[in-house]
Structure 1
Amino acid sequence: MGWRNHIAAPQGRRHAAGPSARKRMLIVVGLLSLSGLGLVARAFDLQVVRKAFYQRQGDARFLREMPIPVSRGTIFDRNGAPLAVSTPVTSIWANPPEVLANEERIPALARALGVDAAELKNKLAQRSEREFVYLRRQMAPEAAQAVLDLGIPGINGQREFKRYYPSGELTAHVLGFTNIDDHGQEGLELAYDDWLSGKPGAKRVIRDRMGHVVEDVEQVRAPKPGQSLTLSIDRRIQFLAFNELKNALEKFEADSGSMVVLDARNGEVLAMVNLPSYNPNAVNDSKPGQRRNRAMTDLLEPGSTIKPILMAAALSSGQYTPTTPIIDTTGGHWYFQGHDIHDTHNYGLLTPTGVITKSSNVGAARIAMSLDTTLMYDTYRGFGFGNSTESGFPGEASGLLRIGRDWRPLEKAILGYGYGLNVTVLQLANAYATIADGGLMHTPAFIKDNDGPTKQIISPKVAHELVRMMETVTGPGSTAPQARIPNYSVAGKTGTAHKANAGGYSKSNYTAAFAGIVPASNPRLVGVVVIDNPQKRSYYGGMVSAPVFAKVMEGALRLLDVPPDNVGRWYVGGPLQGTGGLAGSNPPVDAPIDDAPIDEGAP
């Protein structure tokens, strides 16, 4: 019995263990089932309930919107010559963590980029938490490809466009320049930035964790290239003006100079040159003073170039004609309110035309004091002085002309010969273009085929008389024989103004100017030359600026195929031919003469 009991015990234990095993199995199966249900529920939550949320989260990490660069519009001159073009370039960028993981290749990368290896490594280390860092912008495609061909992990290229100016400093002040992102910063590049820039496109791409584009998903926005622009500028005339102005600055050792050439028929700017200039292809190598468009921003007292505007008021008043009344300038001095208004010579008795011919300050001051102040002010203002020309050029100055009712008698007198107001070179050119086009003022334009607003400032009769009066300025005994152009009649006016300083007016610093119209019988072109502070040989407008006008206009007339109107003579004959004074009252003047301000400095 004992041995049977001994054997039976294990069997009983086995029977007792059976239910326990099944329990455990059920528990395991239950747990697995619950886990499976949990996974299913989690999958349902991820793929159905919160699918959109996690899709956005994933996209935020790997889906990127990248710009599609567009080419900036080309700028042409009026004849189709390119003045500003956009060329494709490549910018090299890096994923710093990936590049630093291959540190041994940084020296080779630095050599290809043309930078110091230690500086490059330090730059990457300082930005090690970023995924995108520019290493070098706007490389030539060939040079950039040499960098990419190294196959260094984390180094990538990005296509961009860079502005190039074929004419360099020749058209720098008109065009301006763009920044590294190809947006206009100055000049017409800034004024027409929206037109030229176009609209960059955009596309969605998938990037991996290292920042590499692995798939283009879709195009979000189609790129819209910039639109081209055709200017009124004639590069050939611009070239002539640049070279002649440069030669004059060197010859007379002047500080700076400007020249503007307008089409008298519509106000289009055919040339605008300033010196010193700069290379817009290397803007960083220039100074602010070189980049200033002096013809638009710098103000000057016009001196005797204002006298035709004074005469416009005089003729419009009905008190004066080109030959009457006679004006007494005897002695060359007029002591007015304690100040000496004087001429450089004693011109005696002059007709109004003679005042223009001889550039008599005494005569101009006497005429000014005889005119109604409101009429004189309105005439000056009507010709655009004290107002912007509304050319649309960025940074254009308005000049300064005090309201007429505030003029003191002495101020009014000196305004007659160009002191006490400030103008720009473009304003002065536009005033003469108004005279040239029969008294019709156009808005100066830098875009070809200008059809801007016009305004009649003086009558065609007065405008015609003014042109005839100004023809005598290049005749015998006048201030600007060097403005003559063979076979063409020339009308114009000189101006030699003392420059203002802190104590009044400088005795040794001048602004030499000449403003002219050609051909005088049928005006087509207007040119204004202003040279600042000539130091050698001469400082008179007739000697310094008039020759520049003549050489540039002679070339321009030939380029534009303008027929001669005065073959074999210097200027058209007629009742205004000669010295402009009373017959026999003034002997010929051998040397050019010009203007001087009143004594005792500024009024």
Structure 2
Amino acid sequence: MALFFMAIGAQLVRLALAGLTDSSISLSETVAQSYARPDIVDRNGRLLATDVVAYSLFADPARVLDRDEVIEKLAVVFPDLDRNALRRDLSDRDRRFVWVRRGLPPRTAQAVHDLGLPGLDFRRELRRAYPGGNLAGHVLGYVNIDNKGVSGIERYVDDIVGVEAVQSATRAERPPVRLSLDIGVQHAVEAELADAVKRYEAQGAAGIVLDVDTGEIVASASLPEVDPARPNMDSARADKISGSTFELGSVFKTLTVAMAIDQALATPETIVDVRKELKSGGFTIKDLHPLRRPLTVAEIFLHSSNVGAAMLALQAGPDRFQAFLRHMQLTDAIKTEAGNVSPPQLPPRWGETETITASYGHGIALAPLQFAAAASAVVNGGRKVTPTYIKRPFDSGVADIPLMSAATSQKMRDLMRRNVAEPAGTGKRADVPGYQVGGKTGTAEMPGVGGYREKAVISSFLAAFPMDKPRYLVFVMLFEPTANKETGGEVLASRNAAPTTARVISRIGPLLGILPTQAALSGNSGLAFDAASPAKYEAR
């Protein structure tokens, strides 16, 4: 017996000194690492994204008794199962771990469990869940199979906030990431845009609500929508707010007129002779509904005169006009927490023709978010706005960088309000009693093969409210709307984008804590905005 135990001891010592052999290494295989992520909530703490526990199915090829049986029975539960790939993986008996399907819902996991197949087992992992479904899908982005952020705010969480590498279903202990979005406002904007797509038979729509003081993005919607839990890379579902650029049309005249006023080239009362069409580079520039008389700068804005806007830009000259756009942060790429914004598409050279076309929003393509940020400075007193998807603390200071004078901003606010309040304004259908809406229409022909497509347009409306002291900017865009009975057989923004904006503002105003003035509700909308009214007691 003593000799027997001595032999066993000697063998153990020999094996210990020899270490692990190559054959023993194949008995263990590293399990994929996952990541625990903090929750994402809206500005009011309502949940937008969170981690949940899900079951992931794996196989141990060495324990599988009948490969064909396993494959056939699993194919009943998973009709899209790649049988050849699974058969190849299960044939390798040296492997001890093979993923079959990850992130299973409880009902599917139970169905696999009931099969009673040897060699199959489950591992509990964290999976990202979005309680709002498709709500704000473009902004949130998505994660990969290992719960790692790939795009949008989810990518921002990985890069800036931080995630925790885990080997099991262990939730992160980090505080939630609070966005500037408001779920209620986001839902209202998406619902109204979806209604507009049906109402005007459009191919898509987009809308943004921006706090003109802080730069906080309260809502950002793009249709067709995406599901962050099931990302779709179809180009038709690309984010139209920050992931694409467009020639925006006459809404750009807001900046052209602001430039002329701010650089003392004109005042709202300056008269410009717009009776003759302009010719440049073989092109003829004319007004859609010419009045055949000289117009004041204010009338150029109210009647959306292409000739008038072009003459104001020509008065400034190509270099000066381009310098103004650069000063307004429109010539360089910007980025937000959700990722890079599509860079501006600028003319390769700035001559007379490019200056003319850019004055009314053609020949220059911008991401709507970048344009909205510049337009915020037009109504907020002339201060630069940096758009953000992250909720700013109440005590955080916003850089006071002037882009234009406060006097210019005041004059532009007056013009924008007149464009909605006066019968002659192109934006009259955007008026909402009690909210003092101001804005500008834009109908831009979309480029196609061989030139612009006359009937394919982007109809947009740029609005701000309340115009005595604007708090929010709303930018609505409809892509390729159809002329129908409701629009009087036209595709103009005054007929579709403007009323859509009115419906959006009437719906989100109370959600933002802005109440309509009693004077307007009683029918006396011509009275000045009451600074002491409840509309001033609004939630940030």
TM class by shorter-chain length?
Answer: 0.7 to 0.9
Given the alignment of the two structures, is residue 46 of structure 1 paired with residue 11 of structure 2, yes or no?
Answer: no
> Which residue of 1 is the match for residue 362 of structure 2?
419
Conservation of the 8 A alpha-carbon contact between 2:318 and 2:351: no
- 1:276-355 correspondence runs (5 A): 276-283=224-231, 286=232, 288-323=234-269, 325-330=270-275, 333-336=277-280, 339-347=283-291, 348-355=293-300
Contact kept in structure 1, 2:438 and 2:465, CA below 8 Å:
yes
Task: Give deviations 1:213-246, integer Å, cap 9, x for gaps.
Answer: xxxxxxxxx9855552111111111111111111
2:80 and 2:345 map into 1 onto residues whose CA distance is 51
Give a deviation string over 1:492-520, Cα, whole Å, max 9, x none: 11111122223222222211111011000
Matches within 5 A, 1:134-533: 134-141=99-106, 143-145=108-110, 147-148=112-113, 152-194=117-159, 198-201=163-166, 225=173, 227-283=175-231, 286=232, 288-323=234-269, 325-330=270-275, 333-336=277-280, 339-347=283-291, 348-402=293-347, 406-449=349-392, 451=396, 453=399, 455-474=401-420, 475-533=422-480
Q: 1:147 to 1:355 in 2, by over 3 A?
A: same
Alignment match, 2:532: none
Offset at residue 454 of structure 1 (A): 5.2
Q: Distance in 2 between matches of 1:443 and 1:342?
A: 35
TM-score (norm 2): 0.85
Matched position secondary structure for 1:516: strand
Q: What is the aligned length?
A: 514
In structure 1, how many angstroms separate the alpha carbons of the residues matched to 2:72 and 2:472? Answer: 61
For 2:82 and 2:318, the matched residues in 1 are separated by: 73
Q: CA deviation at 1:289?
A: 2.5
Equivalent position of 2:536 in the other structure: none
Q: Say which SS state the counterpart of residue 277 (structure 1) adopts.
A: coil
CA contact (8 A) 2:35 2:146 kept: no
Match of 1:21 in 2: none
Q: How does 1:530-549 map to 2 (within 5 A)?
A: 530-537=477-484, 538-549=490-501
Q: RMSD of the alignment, in Å?
A: 3.4
Paired AA for residue 230 in structure 2: A
Structure 1 residue 528, shift from structure 2 partner: 0.7
Find the aligned partners of 1:291 and 1:238 in 2 and give their Cα distance. 18
Is the Cα contact below 8 Å between 1:512 and 1:544 reproduced in 2? yes
Residues 106, 510 of structure 1: CA spacing in aligned structure 2 closer, same or farther, 3 A cutoff?
closer
CA gap 1:147/1:393 in 2 versus in 1, 3 angstroms? closer
Report the Cα offset of residue 290 of structure 1.
4.4
Q: Higher Cα Rg: structure 1 or 2?
A: 1
Task: Give the secondary structure class of the aligned counterpart of 1:89.
Answer: strand
Q: TM-score, normalised by structure 1?
A: 0.77
Residue of structure 2 in register with 1:93 after alignment? 58
Distance in 1 separating the partners of 2:103 and 2:8: 53
Given residue 510 of structure 2, which amino acid in structure 1 is its aligned partner? R
What amino acid sits opposite 2:286 in the alignment? H
C-alpha deviation, 1:411, in angstroms = 1.8
State the distance in 1 between where 2:115 and 2:367 align.
56
Q: What is the CA–CA distance in structure 1 between the aligned matches of 2:463 and 2:244, rounded to whole Å?
A: 20
Following superposition, the deviation at residue 66 of structure 1 comes to 6.0
Distance between the aligned counterparts of 2:446 and 2:69, measured in 1? 65
Rate the CA distance shift 1:116–1:439 in 2: closer, same or farther, 3 A: closer
Distance 1:70 1:142, change over 3 A: farther
Per-residue CA deviation, residues 270-321 of structure 1 (Å, 9 max, x unaligned), is 11111111333333xx451344111112211121111121122211222322
Question: For the Cα contact (< 8 Å) 1:488–1:570, is it kept in 2?
Answer: no
How many angstroms does 1:355 deviate by? 0.9
Pairwise CA distance, 1:393: 2.7
Alpha-carbon distance in structure 2 between the residues aligned to 1:116 and 1:542: 52
C-alpha displacement at 1:570, in angstroms?
Answer: 4.5
8 Å CA contact retained: 2:202, 2:479: yes
Distance 1:481 1:40 in 2: 97
Partner amino acid, structure 2, of 1:177: Y
Q: Which has the higher helix share?
A: 1
- Post-superposition shift, 1:173? 1.1
Q: Which moved more, 1:431-440 or 1:62-71?
A: 62-71
CA contact (8 A) 1:251 1:536 kept: no
